[in-house]
A = this chain, B = another copy of it.
Amino acid sequence: MSDRSVFFVSDGTGITAETMGNSILAQFAIKPRHVRRPFIDTVDKAHQVVREINATGQREGKRPIVFTTLANDDVLAILMGCEAKVFDVIKTFVEPLEEEFNMKSNHRVGRFSDPSVDQEYNDRIDAINFALEHDDGQSSRSLDLADVVLVGVSRCGKTPTSLYLAMQHGIKAANVPLIPEDFDRGFLPSMLKPYKKKCFGLTIDPDRLSHIRNERRPGSKYAALENCRHEVAQAEAMMRREGIAWLSSTHKSIEEIATTILRDIRPDRLVY
């Protein structure tokens, strides 16, 4: 069923409206058409969106769904006049909170503070740069500054997880591959020794790993299922021996892996 449209209307990026709307819509076995309309910050733009929503509903024969985070009352009033089922995040959640806090809100939702003066924002950028500089074992320099060092075989998900931890949580994550030479020697890469307590392992189902590696280097020994089985078994044995906590990335999204890592190694970052 793709015969219905969902609009995300915001005076900012629309990320909040969209994230929320998508997580709600995921509850339903439908595939609506998604339309994002960011930066709707004037009465004129609101009229334009309303015309688009109404025309869409008429074309599809079903009224559209709208998720909105518009904070400006004049702009919102125009949107509310559209022929759609509108979910207004502000009215639903902000007004009860005004009562709870006994305080007026400043009618600003989903806006980011000015990054040029925001320490938390700058920490995130620093963390992204750190992840890039310490991707794939590139550098052991300032590894003491890492919040976590991800280890695991090539292509098990270390890099996207590092970047996600940096971008979303401002966590400095380095990542170091476990490679056949390490298994032959039977020791962790030497750069990891001083930082074993910060290490967190990722592992992956060998079939899935073989599939991923085959997309990169088709038919190679690197991608062969037999080799993937060997590397994964060796990596898991090494992590077990060294007492490094690990999880399998096979059926987990980056977001879920990152949340688990945060909870396990930096529970203090879950309270912030």
Per-residue contact bits, chain A 103-119, to B (CB 8 Å; 1 contact, 0 not): 10111111110111000
Q: Determine if A125 and B160 form an interchain contact, defined as CB atoms under 8 angstroms apart.
A: yes
The tally of residues in A whose CB lies under 8 Å from a CB in B reads 75
A42 on the B face (CB < 8 A) = no
Residue in chain B with minimal CB distance to A259? B13
Contacts of A106 in B (CB 8 A): 27-29
Known: A19-B19, A65-B100, A159-B128. A253 touches B112 (CB 8 A): yes
Residue in chain B with minimal CB distance to A103? B28
Expressed in whole angstroms, the minimum distance between the Cβ of A201 and any Cβ of chain B is: 18
Per-residue contact bits, chain A 90-105, to B (CB 8 Å; 1 contact, 0 not): 1011101100110101
Segment of A31-39, A143-151, A177-185 in the binding face = A31-39
Contacts of A36 in B (CB 8 A): 270-271
A93 to B96, CA, bound (A): 15
Q: Determine if A28 and B114 form an interchain contact, defined as CB atoms under 8 angstroms apart.
A: no
Contacts of A96 in B (CB 8 A): 85, 87
Known: A13-B259, A15-B259. A30 touches B103 (CB 8 A): yes
Contacts of A125 in B (CB 8 A): 160
A residues with a Cβ closer than 8 A to B are 12-16, 19-20, 23-30, 33-39, 65, 69, 71, 85, 87, 89-90, 92-94, 96-97, 100-101, 103, 105-112, 114-116, 121, 125, 128-129, 132, 135, 159-160, 163-164, 167, 205, 208, 250-256, 258-260, 263, 270-272
